[in-house]
Amino acid sequence: MQGKEIETGTYGVVLTPFDREGHLNQTALRQELKYCTGTKAAGLLLCGSTGEFVYMDQQQHKEVLRIGMEEAGRYKVLIGGASGATEHKVLGLLNYMEVLGYTYCIICPPYYYPQTPENVVSFYETISGQAPAGMKIFLYNIPFCSPEIPLKYMERLLRLPNVIGMKDSSGDMLYLSKVMGIVNEIRPDFMVFTGQDAVFLPSLTIGASGCMSALCWMLDEAAADIWQSYKKLDLKHATEIQLRIIQLVRHLDAVAFPENYRILSEIVGISAGKPQRSLHNMSEEFCSQWISQAVELVWKLRMK
């Protein structure tokens, strides 16, 4: 196992670079990871939503996990994405990750087909019971892509000993506040991270452990600044940075996810290759204006 303990703070979600034929661009991935190891992010998440795991075949998925460990395992805590539509696929990835030396994984509920809350809980209980010894699991709540992790069964999920935390990408502060209420009563050591940069600071105020997002490595100093300022009780400064990030997020929303983050990575100086499925919905004029505005917003964040 990797040996590094996960801590509170910021975690960067790595993009997966592809070439024009849809093959994994290993050179670009290694360059991205080398850059990420020098950022203020406490760790890195591979094969997440921004990493387009749903577009990768099994071999590509495994290659990203392997290269991630080779390039960044000595420097950062790594969380490997192991989401799949069936328990069998997830457990296959977990067994492979164990061989590579991963300690932490993140898994969203089974997607595509509708699931009852009972189905979601059963899915996690099965995986928890059959996961490799020592593998620590993060739940992944991302309700616009898969069923919501049910609040009514949160206490039951918190009692799974190898489930140690959750990433909530819903952006729903009411949902998150209820999760934190249950966590505080049942298992205070359970770690909850937001996956939405626009609610990073509000999430901290109700007890969240930090943020997991692509911006946490692309704009690592700004993300770390919110975290450190909050810990120092400098809420005025933390709010100033948060509001600038909200401006950037609003701007990013004008371009489809995750292509918007690939363009942003180029702006910050890291080539993330091509998306597996490029969405050709931007005119040259729109793209040029959008990039110019994004550059200005990034500059404001970096100047802070």
Closest CA to 260 of 297, 224, 223: 297
Which two tokens mark 38? 């020098």
- Virtual torsion, Cα 277, 282, 287, 291, nearest 10 deg: -50
Q: What is the mean pLDDT of residues 115-122?
A: 96
| Phi-psi category of residue 52: left, alpha or beta, with phi > 0 → left and psi -120 to 50 → alpha | left
- pLDDT of res. 154: 97
pLDDT in tens, 63-84: 999 999 999 999 999 999 999 9
pLDDT in tens, 140-195: 999 999 999 999 999 999 999 999 999 999 999 999 999 999 999 999 999 999 99
Q: What is the mean pLDDT of residues 129-149?
A: 96
Q: What is the mean pLDDT of residues 87-97?
A: 97
| Mean pLDDT score across all residues of the chain | 94
Q: How many CB atoms lie within 10 A of CB 113?
A: 8
Do 16 and 64 meet the contact criterion of CB atoms below 8 Å apart? yes
Angle at CA of residue 169, ends 268 and 72, nearest 5°:
50
Does 10 appear as a known binding residue? no
Q: What is the mean pLDDT of residues 190-207?
A: 98
Cis before 258? omega within 30: yes
In the chain the first and final C-alpha atoms are separated, in Å, by 39
Residue 24: exposed, middle, or buried by beta-carbon count in 10 A (0-12, 13-18, 19+)?
A: buried
Instruction: Give the homologous superfamily in CATH for domain 9-234.
Output: Aldolase class I (3.20.20.70)
pLDDT in tens, 226-266: 999 999 999 999 999 999 999 999 999 998 888 899 999 99
Confidence band of 208 (pLDDT split at 50, 70, 90):
very high
- pLDDT of res. 10: 98
Residue 304: exposed, middle, or buried by beta-carbon count in 10 A (0-12, 13-18, 19+)?
A: exposed
Q: Tell me the residue length of the chain.
A: 304
Helices (H), 6-106: 26-37, 58-72, 87-100
- pLDDT of res. 286: 85
| pLDDT exceeds 70 at position 3 | no
Does 50 appear as a known binding residue? yes
| pLDDT exceeds 60 at position 279 | no
| Phi-psi category of residue 16: left, alpha or beta, with phi > 0 → left and psi -120 to 50 → alpha | beta
| pLDDT exceeds 70 at position 277 | no
- pLDDT of res. 21: 85
Confidence band of 137 (pLDDT split at 50, 70, 90):
very high
Annotated catalytic sites, by residue? 140, 167
